[in-house]
Structure formats: C-alpha cells, structure tokens
Amino acid sequence: MTKALPHTGSYYAASISESTSYAPLTGAHTADVCVIGAGFTGISTALTLAERGYDVRVVEANQVGWGASGRNGGQMIGGISGEQGIAKSLGANSESIIWELRWAGHEIIRERVETYDIQCDLKSGYLDVAIKPRHLRALEADAEALEKHNFPFEYKLLSKQETRDTIGTEAYIGALLNTGNGHLHPLNLCIGEARAAVSRGATIYEQSMVLNIEKNGKPKVVTTQGSISADFVVLAGNAYHLLERKLRGIMFPVNSFIIASEPLSEAVVNEINPQDLAVCDPNYVLEYFRLSADKRFLFGGRCNYSGSDPEVIRRQLMPRMLRIYPQLAGKKFEFAWGGTIGVPINRVPQMGRIADNIFYSQGYSGHGVNVTHLAGQIMADTVAGTLDRFDIFANIEPFTIPGQHLFGKQMVALGMLYYKLQDQW
Ligand SMILES: Cc1cc2nc3c(=O)[nH]c(=O)nc-3n(C[C@H](O)[C@H](O)[C@H](O)COP(=O)(O)OP(=O)(O)OC[C@H]3O[C@@H](n4cnc5c(N)ncnc54)[C@H](O)[C@@H]3O)c2cc1C
C-alpha cells in the first residue's frame, strides 16, 4: 500500500499554521544523507545536518508530522524513558551523563523556536501528579534530584490541597510543579522545523513511501517514482515504520487517544488550570491533559480500541475525563483522534545500525517530544563519526518480540495489557 494519507482529524491538523506541499520524490538523486520519515526524529536530524552543511534529503510517506509527532499530547516532558536501564549499562558517571541527556531536547526545542521564529504555542509549566503514595515518594525523589543538580527553572512539591487549588480537581494526592517542562502545538513545531531545515538547504519529499533500501555498497533508497543514493541513511519511522520489520519487532506499538473540547470560558479556565500547565499522571498507560492556546481542553489516555472512529474514542475517553473534571460535563468535545507510540520492552530508546552506514532511532515511549530532538542531534553526530552518545543507546541490546509483525493488532492489545498490569501495584 503506497497511497499517501492525509493528517488525522486532530485539533492540531485543524489549527495548522501552514500546510506543507513538498513535491514527491521523482527521478534518481544523490545526497550525503537520506532520512526516512518526517516526524520529529527525521526533521530534527535533517535540520541539524543541514545546519552543519550536509546535503540532506527527507523522504516521507505521507506529510510532514503525519505520524505521532503531529498527533501527540504536546507535553514537553523532561527525562528519558528507561533511565534505569541506561544507568545500569553506563555504570560509573551515569548520573551526570543521564542528567544532561534528560533536558537536552528541551534546550534544542527552545533554541529552535526562537532562532527560526516557530509559532507553536510553546509554554513553560508542567505538573506531574501523584495518584498513590509511591508516586508521591517518586516525586519527592525527583525534587531532590532537581535541587542536587541546581535545576535552573522553578519547581515545587504541592500538597493535595495545593494540587486541587492549582488544577481544580480532587483526583490527585499531590504533585510536582516544574517550569522547566512545558507544552506546545506539536504539528506546528514539526512543520516549522521542516521549514527551517529547507531554509538551511535540506530537501523534503512528501507522499513518497520508501519501499526498499538497496544495501549493496552505497545505500539506495527507493520509492515508486524515484531513488536517492546516499552516503548515509537514517531510519526515522518509529512506530509507523513500514519498511524494516525487524525494527518494529523490538517494540510494542501502544495506542493513545486524545479528545479536544470546544474553547472554554475564562471562568472554567480559571477553575481548572489558571496557570496553563500541562498535567500528566505517572502510570505506564497514562492520562495527560492541558489547554490549547485557544483554551480547548485536550485530554489524552488509553482506550480499549485500535481504530480511528472519533465517536468510539469520545465514548471511551469521556468517562475517564469526567472522573477528573465532572465540571466539564456538557462541554462539546469537537475533536477525537489517536496515534501509535513506540514502546520498547525495556523502555530504553533504540538507536543502532542495520548496516555500517544505515542508522535508526526510535522507541521513545511517551517522552518523544523531548527525546526525538536529542535523537536528531545524536544521529547527526553519528553521521559525522562522533559516536559517544549514540553508543550509550546502541550498546543496550533491545528485547525482540517474536512474530510481532505477524500479529499487528493483537500485539497492540498485548502491549496495552502488559503496561496496564504494571500500573496495578
Ligand atoms: C496520541 C499520542 C500522544 C503522545 N503524547 C506525547 C506527549 O505528550 N509528549 C511526548 O513527549 N511524547 C508523546 N507521544 C510520543 C511522541 O509523539 C513520539 O515519541 C514521537 O513523535 C516520535 O517521533 P518520530 O519522528 O520518531 O515518529 P513519527 O512522528 O511517528 O514519524 C514517523 C514518520 O515516518 C514516516 N514513515 C514510516 N515509514 C515510512 C516509509 N517506509 N517511507 C517514508 N516514510 C515513512 C511516517 O509516515 C511518519 O510520518 C505521544 C504519541 C501519541 C501517538
């Protein structure tokens, strides 16, 4: 199947800052680097490479930001999933290395938004909420770590009452407020970064699904109408990767869904989120919410569903949302959509090679907004032969899920079950 797909029916697609219409790949080309996939990983890699003077081409099956990057919760969350696994692999000195990696993506995003004047509603302010006492203990440890590392942004542990006063719900027993994290319009960020990459000399091809990579000698990336022979290829298709099956076999594809309300009145906004914070619970299969720039309430979580019917998504998510915010009963939820997150079993983002000059980066779990930006920089370093940070991830062997490619939807269900069980204790 090579037919290009339009954006999903999300609030983001309906509030796009500019629509993209990069021409499909036709004819035979050569380049320094060919990147497959125009989500955050691919675009971020391309922008970094273009800034460093490489001739880089991005080949996207659908449109810029079509995958998870253009559909996500827009929560700019610090940290990397699977940090324990990374620490174990690194041994001594892991703490300072991981601390730096935790926040690197945020810096890249903030710097790009400013440099390239990207209109993506970037806001600072984030609340990690606790549901159980063990979550509170984890937040206390997080606050201690912030203090120890002289975190340059404001942060504060909140009691149950303070949490209630901050976000107008009784659902949580405490929280950690952190102004180093934040939220943004992910599709507009991705589109803005794509524009920036092109302004620095990169070429993007949309509606161009890569069907094959010829791997004898210099790799050749092939679509129905064209090809690119490149010194290096970077695979950036994440959970939507349709090309190298073995890259999907090393992570669970987990579905997450979002509903977006009509714009809320000032009175309601003042009651439920006057500080305009992004909020996220600590479960593996988590719930997350925030306001958009035009004051819609965006609520994300899981459904027992793997399709894309907005009615089914609304029906399943509304009761979850109303448990937290009964005061939103009767509000119209105008958008409902879903997407697939790539979740490695050991949670560690996966970077590696499938040949000497073909690299991949994928599997960021729910931390992709931040970590994809770090990954783009690491991929660009790797192309230049600087492997320090690439090796941190590449040295961690991923678990393989046998037969994953044969049981697509069943694997999604199994993945959801596995993570739901983790949330039970
Ligand atoms: C509903 C949802 C909510 C989320 N919420 C958050 C959040 O709030 N915060 C956070 O940090 N993370 C969140 N995530 C995770 C985050 O969005 C992802 O980790 C991140 O966007 C992955 O980016 P990517 O570029 O690697 O992949 P994607 O954005 O999925 O991009 C992959 C691209 O590759 C293209 N592609 C695939 N195969 C081919 C091929 N053969 N040829 C050409 N192109 C191809 C696809 O069309 C796609 O555009 C969420 C994810 C989802 C789905």
* Pocket lining: 11 vs ligand 1, CB cutoff 6 Å: no
Beta bridge partners of 234: 35, 359
User: What per-residue confidence (pLDDT) applies to 373?
Assistant: 98
C-alpha span between 28 and 405 (Å, rounded): 31
Per-residue pLDDT tens digits for 312-357: 999 999 999 999 999 999 999 999 999 998 889 889 999 999 999 9
* Pocket lining: 223 vs ligand 1, CB cutoff 6 Å: no
Q: Which residue puts its alpha carbon closest to atom 13 of ligand 1? A: 366
| Pairing outcome for strands 56-59 and 203-205 | parallel
Helix (H, G, I), strand (E, B) or coil at 253: strand
User: What per-residue confidence (pLDDT) applies to 93?
Assistant: 86
- Is the backbone of residue 162 left (phi > 0), alpha (psi -120 to 50) or beta? alpha
Tell me which of 100 and 417 has the higher pLDDT. 100
User: What pLDDT band is residue 403 in, cutting at 50, 70 and 90?
Assistant: low
- Tell me, what DSSP letter sits at residue 65? T
Average pLDDT over every residue of 48-68: 98
Please identify, by atom number, the ligand 1 atom nearest to the C-alpha of residue 73.
8
Alpha carbon distance, N-terminus to C-terminus of the chain: 42
CA of 101 to the centre of ligand 1 (A): 20
User: What per-residue confidence (pLDDT) applies to 31?
Assistant: 98
User: What per-residue confidence (pLDDT) applies to 228?
Assistant: 98
Please identify, by atom number, the ligand 1 atom nearest to the C-alpha of residue 40.
25
Please identify, by atom number, the ligand 1 atom nearest to the C-alpha of residue 342.
19
Average pLDDT over every residue of 58-82: 97
In 3D, which of 282, 303, 281, 280 has the Cα closest to residue 290?
Answer: 280
User: What pLDDT band is residue 1 in, cutting at 50, 70 and 90?
Assistant: very low
Per-residue pLDDT tens digits for 129-177: 999 999 999 999 999 999 999 999 999 999 999 999 999 999 999 999 9
Q: Which residue puts its alpha carbon closest to atom 38 of ligand 1? A: 241
CA of 65 to the centre of ligand 1 (A): 8
Please identify, by atom number, the ligand 1 atom nearest to the C-alpha of residue 371.
11
- What is Dmax (Cα atoms) for the chain? 64
Average pLDDT over every residue of 178-200: 98
Q: Which residue puts its alpha carbon closest to atom 31 of ligand 1? A: 39
Q: Which residues touch 269 (CB under 8 Å, ≥6 apart)?
A: 291, 295
Helix axes 94-115, 83-90, angle to 10 degrees: 130
C-alpha span between 67 and 317 (Å, rounded): 21
**Angle CA(261)–CA(267)–CA(268) in degrees, nearest 5?**
35
Q: 112: which 2 tokens?
A: 């790009």
C-alpha span between 381 and 367 (Å, rounded): 21
The pTM is what? 0.96
* Pocket lining: 236 vs ligand 1, CB cutoff 6 Å: yes
* Pocket lining: 37 vs ligand 1, CB cutoff 6 Å: yes
